[in-house]
Amino acid sequence: MEDTKEQELGNDGELQELLSSLPKERNWEGSTLLLYKGFWYPLFAFKALISFQKHFHAHDKDIIVASMPKSGTTWLISLVYMIINRSLYAFKLNECPLLTSNPHDLIPFLELNLYLKNQRPDLEAIPDPRTFTTHTPYSSLPTSIIDSNCKIVYVCRNPMDQFISYWRFLLKIKPITDDQTSLEKAFEMHYKGIHSFGPFCNHVLEYWKASQENPDKVLFLKYEELKEDIIGCTKKLAEFLGFPFSKDEEEQGIVEEITRICSFENLKNLDVNKNGKRPSGAPNDAFFRKGEVGDWSNHLTPSMAERMINLLQEKLKGSGLSFDLSCKVQKKA
Please pick, among 55, 59, 135, 203, the residue that the annotation labels catalytic.
Answer: 135
Q: How far apart are CA 239 and CA 233, in angstroms?
A: 10
Which amino acid, one-letter code, is at 43?
L
Three-class SS of residue 168?
helix
Q: How far apart are CA 240 and CA 107, in angstroms?
A: 18
Active site residue 135: yes
Q: Which residues of 135-167 are buried (b: 16+ CB within 10 A; e: fewer)?
A: bbbbebbbeebeebebbbbbbbbbbbbbbbbbb
Distance of CA 31 to the CA centre of its chain: 19
Q: How far apart are CA 332 and CA 191, in angstroms?
A: 21
- Torsion angles phi and psi, residue 20, rounded to 5: -70, -20
* 242 and 173 Cβ atoms separated by less than 8 Å: no
- Which residues carry out catalysis? 135
